[in-house]
Amino acid sequence: MKHLSSFAVIGCGRFGGNLALTLSQLGNEVLVVDKDENKVNDLAEFVTYAVQADVGQEGALDEIGLRNVDTAVIATSSNFEASIMATAICKEKGIKNIIAKAKSQQHAKILEQVGANRTILPERDMGIRLGHSLSRSSIYDYIELDTDHSIVELVVPDAWIGKSLESLDVRKNYDVSIIGILDTNYSNINPSPDDVFREHDRLLILGTSDKVLEIEQLQ
C-alpha cells in the first residue's frame, strides 16, 4: 500500500462502510475488515482489500497486512471488548495514526489508554455540528478541521468592541486564535496585536469546539 494514503477500516457497519467507500472514492487504498461475510462481499469490489475476520478473536488481525497501513480506524464500537482489542493490536503493529469509534466517554477514555490517538463519538460530534449550523444568529460559518478543532466565523462580542487583540490577550485568556477580521468593506487576515475590533466586525476564530463555544456565549 502507498504511504500516506493507506487506511484500514475495522468494522463495516453504516459508519465504517460509508467511511471505507468515501476513502476509496477519494483515491486512497483501503483495507476493510469485518466478521460479517456479507458486509465484506458488499465492499470488496469498491476497496483495495476486503477481509473477513473476527477482531474479537486472538490472532485474527495478525496476517492481514496491518503493518502496511498508515491510519487505522476502529469502527466497531458496539462490541466493547473487540474495539479495545483491535485498538491495542493496531498499536502493537506500529500503526502511527489510530482513530477509534466509541459509544461513551468512558469507552473513549479506555480506547485512548490502549493506543487510540483520537476517539470519536458520532452522535455527540454530529450534535455539536448541528448546534453550530442552527445557531445562525451569531455564527456565519463553521468549518470542522477535526473532531476537536474548528474555524468559526463569529460576530464580534459586544464586550470586545473598541479593544485590541493585545489588550484582550485573546490567545492567553480565551485559548483561541483570531486568524481574520472581516467586514463588508475589508478583510484583515492574520491581524496584528494593535488591531481594534469594531462594531459589525466578523471574526475568524480557530480553536477547540468548547473554547469557541465560550466565545459564542459572550454575545
DSSP, residue by residue, 66-87: GGG-SEEEE---SSHHHHHHHH
Three-class secondary structure of residue 101 per DSSP: strand
Quote the pLDDT of residue 123.
Answer: 73
Per-residue pLDDT of the chain (219 residues; tens, 9 = 90+): 334 468 999 999 988 999 999 899 888 899 999 999 999 999 999 999 999 988 877 777 777 878 788 899 999 877 888 899 999 999 988 998 999 999 888 999 999 999 999 898 877 766 666 665 555 445 555 566 555 677 788 889 989 999 999 999 998 899 989 988 988 777 888 888 999 999 889 888 888 877 877 887 776
Contact criterion met (CB below 8 Å) for 35 and 55: yes
- Please tell me whether residue 147 adopts helix, strand or coil conformation: coil
Q: 3-state DSSP call for residue 109? A: helix
pLDDT at 40: 95
C-alpha cell at 203: 471574526
Q: What is the per-residue pLDDT for 4? A: 42
* Cα dihedral 121, 124, 178, 203 sign: positive
pLDDT score recorded for residue 1? 37
Nearest alpha carbon to residue 13 among 67, 68, 63, 55: 55
User: Strand ranges (DSSP E) for 75-186?
Assistant: 97-101, 118-120, 139-144, 149-155, 177-182
The per-residue pLDDT for 219 is: 62
- With a CB cutoff of 8 Å and minimum separation 6, the contacts of 82 are 54, 55, 56, 76
**What is the pTM for the complete model shown?**
0.62
pLDDT of residue 33: 94
Q: What is the pLDDT of residue 2?
A: 38
pLDDT at 121: 85
Give the pLDDT confidence score for residue 148 in this predicted structure. Answer: 66
- CA contacts within 13 A on the Cβ side of 187: 4
Cell of 192: 496584528
Contact 82, 76 (CB under 8 A): yes
Predicted confidence at residue 133, as pLDDT, reads 57
